Amino acid sequence: MNYTTPPFEVSFKGLLFDMDGTIIDSTAAVVKHWHTVGKEIGVDPEVILQTSHGRRSIDMLKVLSPEKANWEYVRHMEGLLPKLHGADAVEIPGARPLLEALIAAGARWTIVTSGTVPLVTGWLDVLKLPRPAHLVTAESVAEGKPDPACYALGREKLDLGAADSPEILVLEDSPAGIRAGKAAGCKVLGLVTSHTAAQVVAAEPDWVVRDLRSVSMVRCADGVVTLRISDALASVASASGISEK
């Protein structure tokens, strides 16, 4: 697959970021943690890891270990992850400069994640990344991704209405999250950080890039932020109306 699309600009009223695989990469930490938790609850960790990315832990536990599927256990379990394995998480390339530019310009953005509050705030603190004014977390909605409720709530957190959805950009790496963003009526930028390009493309995002080094803020005026996207996957960009020159 060719990431050869020339730079192009797109404008949005707000940005909704997934967390793991979009802002940070905690894969190594998650693998270690699920191995520990799997042994604790009597479930093969490999079974958990095959389907856990982009989904809420409580939804996984409802299937694999129903007696543990409660918020008290999930929040405690996830809260331990950054404390025990903080050194194993890294930033997704390009995430920090993009967030810092958005904050400096006063652009509307927030994080919409399948993680709980202790997990998300723990990672942001460990990596010293900026925290938005409002978070949408696993506890915020009744159904997790690919259900669109989380991104609809994220839109509300930005004081935007349903009619604004086509002018909101969701940044996601997991197929479940990409489908949630599309179902919410938003534009979606897929990142190839945790899944194969084929898996990301199959979820039908509007554009696909390798990571956030391909995204930069050009300007923010009158509540609209303009981004420059470069080195996007050519086939997807072409289908979205962006052509190679």
Residues catalogued as catalytic: 18, 20
Q: Residue 208 and residue 225: Cα distance in Å, rounded?
A: 19
Question: What is the token pair recorded at 92?
Answer: 């997704």
Helix or strand holding residue 198 (H, E): helix 197-202
Phi–psi pair at 218, nearest 5 degrees? -95, -45
Pick from 166, 226, 234, 211: nearest CA to 18: 211
DSSP string, 99-155: HHHHHHHT--EEEE-SS-HHHHHHHHHHTT----SSEE-GGG-SS-TTSTHHHHHHH
